[in-house]
Chain A
Amino acid sequence: VVLHLDARELKMPPGRSGWTPRGIVAYSKICTHAGCAVALFRKPTFPTVEPQEALICPCHYSTFNPFTGGTVTFGPAGRPLPQLPLEIDAAGHLRAAGNFSGRVGPGWWNVREQPTFRKRAV
């Protein structure tokens, strides 16, 4: 899922600073809890209880914050949504700049939160 967010509000984890050209972010759409599509995008209508836009899985309402690297803000998911680093190439095309930040899909025995990619980046 690709979102265009306000670049000033992004608070990406260390090592992901160049992943969001012009505030465009990309995440895996498969929930890290049980594998449903994270198909809901919450646009706050009442900022007191819904402070920011969020990605939500309709199956068990795991809620992910797209401003902070897909971290879990609510619900049963145990891992953040894997993020896809983006770049804009010389011709102006939006491209993936590398692999996902973590394993895509629901967890299983031995699933790793961060693959070697991120460690190199750090």
Chain B
Amino acid sequence: MVERTGAADIPEAGGMSEPGDSPRFTQSPDPTDPFADPVRFIDERTASAPLLRTAMGYLFPEHWSFLLGEVALYAFIVLIATGTYLALFFDPSTAKTVYHGSYAPLDGQTMSNAYKSVVNISLSYKAGLLLRQTHHWAADVFVASIVMHLMRVFFTGAFRKPRELTWIVGLMLLFTAFLEGYLGYSLVDDLLSGMGIAIGYGVGLSIPIVGGPLMLGIFGAPFPGNHDFWSRMFIMHVFLLPALLATLIGVHLALVMARHHTQFKESERTTNKRIVGLPLFPAQTFRSLALMLFVVGILFLLGGLVQINPIWQWGPFEPWQGTNGAQPDWYLGWLIGALRLMPAFDVTIGHYTLIPNPFWGGVLLPMFVLGVLMTFPWVERFLTGDRAVHNLADRPREHPFRTAFGLSVLTFIFIIFSFGAADRLYVLLGISYQAQLTVFRIAVFVAPMIVFAIAHRICRELQIAESLDRAHEQVAQLNVEAHEMQAESSSGG
């Protein structure tokens, strides 16, 4: 007969009583009294000591660039906290109402309950504007710090074996954050965000075959949809996507801890198999707490002092209204830029449209960029044949191809992003939109190639300069030794 059950001893505690522990823990007056020895009390009930001991000993790299991901983490905490406050007052309803609130210019206007509640949060409720603006700033900083963190990881090759899964989870986080941010400012139902939803609907509709049914399913009815759509957006923004983000953050951090950070070879002590850094407790804990207070402080300063998205000025949205100079939040600027930059090109057969234009800029471009980033660890492995485990972070110059490729992709996206603001550039610089379109359409292909060539060259030059420096040092060292030998032999003779 096959034994299906297993047997094991139940540990009395997680490890506080192991031999070799300090007497402080083993000689407590009364191990059942939570106040006399709280550490032991908790350990006996959670068996958490080994886990905590490992965690507290986790070594963090010292370099500042490893804190960018933590900035994102703390921005996320601010988002949860401020978002919870906003959700207490927000009304996700598209039912129409007439505004008679404290803001006179909107008095008597018909608007949705959603928009009205955000105007009231901004202008009538205590600390409402501070928390709404802090929420908005935190979202912008959240995505910005993820992008910075991604650049650090990319340019130092930290995505390589054994950290490919961490890289993929991080990319999922970034693209979920795009969607979460978009839904967040769209919920307000002001004129600006309403245009954004219209575009989102148009882009979704453009997906071949499934676009129409998919958008009808999400919106409940042709644009602007029915009340179900607002309920769906709301539950996505305040529950499903935050839960997904929190889960992805948890998995991301667990993977980081499991395979450890990479680190720069800052001294001879650091090798591919040996970590040198600050332990989680006490060193990194206080460094990180200070960073958290700094991030929270900066975000609240921004929220209190720097106006962002003054929705009472935009007015309520109606599908037949639009305004000039509309711009999304920064992290979607590359998508509006792509929609504007793309030539008028629909795939058609006779009078039937197969693939409408918004598909190229709104769906294909982000999918393409995501695909390139997701597969890059394997593409690089294929190109270099390097299958080794890498725990040391490269300096960007050490991999000219990767650095040049990354910079050219960034240039490509930055040029598309910039064209998203071409109407603003016209107001600023006086160069006509049409002329800019021509220049940007050429630059979007030429500039990345130029950047690639220059970056590749600079990396090579830096490498050569360094090896020359090392050679000079060796020669100088040899000269010194030769002089010493000469001096010895002359004094001896």
Residues of A in contact with B (beta carbons under 8 Å apart): 29-31, 33-40, 49, 57-62, 72, 74-79, 105-114
Contact = CB atoms under 8 A, between A and B. Distances in A.
B360 to A, nearest CB: 9
Contact of A113 (B199, B211, B322, B353): B353
A-side binding surface: helix, strand, loop or mixed?
A: loop
Chain A CB count within 10 A is highest, among B198, B208, B434, for B198
B346 A78 contact: yes
Given A78-B344, A106-B202, 6 more contacts: A33-B358, A39-B321, A49-B432, A108-B215, A108-B353, A109-B212
Contacts of A33: 202, 339, 357-358
B345 interface: yes
Interface string B307-323: 00000000000011111
Contact of A109 (B202, B354, B357): B354
Contacts of B340: 60-61, 75-76
B73 to A, nearest CB: 34
Contacts of B195: 36-37, 58-59
A111 B320 contact: no
B364 interface: no
Contacts of B208: 109
Nearest to A49: B432
Nearest to A39: B322
B423 A61 contact: yes
A79 B356 CA distance: 9
B205 A106 contact: yes
A35 B198 contact: yes
Contacts of B326: 58-59
14 contacts: A30-B320, A37-B322, A39-B320, A39-B323, A61-B433, A76-B358, A78-B348, A105-B223, A106-B356, A106-B358, A107-B206, A107-B357, A110-B353, A111-B353
A34 to B, nearest CB: 3
A77 B343 CA distance: 9
B104 interface: no
B343 A29 contact: no
B324 A40 contact: yes
Given A36-B198, A78-B357, A114-B351, A106 B323 contact: no
B353 A58 contact: no
B204 to A, nearest CB: 9
Interface string B192-204: 0001001101110
B388 interface: no
B222 interface: yes
A60 B320 contact: no
A112 B353 CA distance: 6
Interface string B357-393: 1100110000000000000000000000000000000
A111 B154 CA distance: 42
Contacts of B351: 112-114
Question: What 3 pairs across the A-B complex have the smallest Cβ distances?
Answer: A34-B202, A107-B356, A39-B322
Nearest to A33: B357
B353 A78 contact: yes
Nearest to A37: B322
Contact of B344 (A34, A57, A75, A105): A75
A115 to B, nearest CB: 9
B95 interface: no
Contacts of A59: 195, 198-199, 322, 326, 336, 339
Contacts of B64: none
Nearest to A104: B222
Contacts of B320: 29-30, 37, 39
A72 B346 CA distance: 13
B222 to A, nearest CB: 7
A60 B342 CA distance: 10
A77 B342 CA distance: 10
Contact of B222 (A58, A105, A113): A105
Contacts of A79: 346, 353
Given A36-B195, A36-B198, A61-B340, A108 B206 contact: yes
Nearest to B362: A34
Contact of B198 (A34, A49, A78): A34
Contact of B211 (A61, A62, A109): A109
B2 interface: no
